[in-house]
Amino acid sequence: MNAEKQPVSLMIFDLDGTLIRSGDDIAASVNYTLEALSQPPIEREKILRFIGDGVRVLIERSLGPTAQELVPKALELFSTHYADHMLDTTDLYPDVHPVLTHFARQNKVIVTNKPVGAARAIVDRLRIRGYFTEIIGADTTPRRKPDTGVLAPLFEGVAPDPKRTLVVGDGVNDILLARNAGFISCALLNGLSDREDLLALEPDHACERLSELVDLFA
């Protein structure tokens, strides 16, 4: 019943693994980069575990400790390849449009550790830009999730009500961002991150699918 739902006025969504299925395209660009640098390829599942802390950290982890001198060139190769191929297979999770439409009255933003240019391009191409008032990426501010400083563009002069602000994401950084800010956290367990890592953080809510938000919040 509606009376049992927790009221929210601001919803902060992660992007990769939360709104979009993007793991295959990211993994393909990582392995393209490794091949171009004569480095051994990495299995997809391992690459997915490297996602969440921004492109540089993804590349550093993919190269491994013995090839860190290749990071600058790898970043260049990855960024160029991914810009051309980031929508080869990436698409929305099936319940994205219904859920975002359901929460039409709530203010909604995307906060991602993906570069903001790539985030905006994907959101535009997948036709969900109109649902969001703001898209914050890794290069929007000097800070990244889970540092609450990443939220600064949202709250210039207006402090949100923590009890009515929800962070939804499939990553550890999303749950930690909510905790650091005093917001409500909701972990999506079927994204890119390991579900046990998410559950170990004891988020306020945990969902198998985005559509479960409809039954939890109003």
Would you name the residues annotated as active-site residues? 14
> How far is the C-alpha of 166 from the C-alpha of 183, rounded, in Å?
6
> How far is the C-alpha of 168 from the C-alpha of 173, rounded, in Å?
11
Which long-range CB contacts under 8 A does 153-162 form with residues at least 24 apart? 154/10, 154/109, 160/9, 160/10, 161/9, 161/10
> How far is CA 66 from each of CA 45, 74, 77, 102, 147, rounded to the nearest angstrom?
21, 14, 19, 49, 29
Tokens coding 99: 């859920």
Tokens coding 72: 């600058």
Angle among Cα 168, 171, 175 to the nearest 5 degrees reads 60
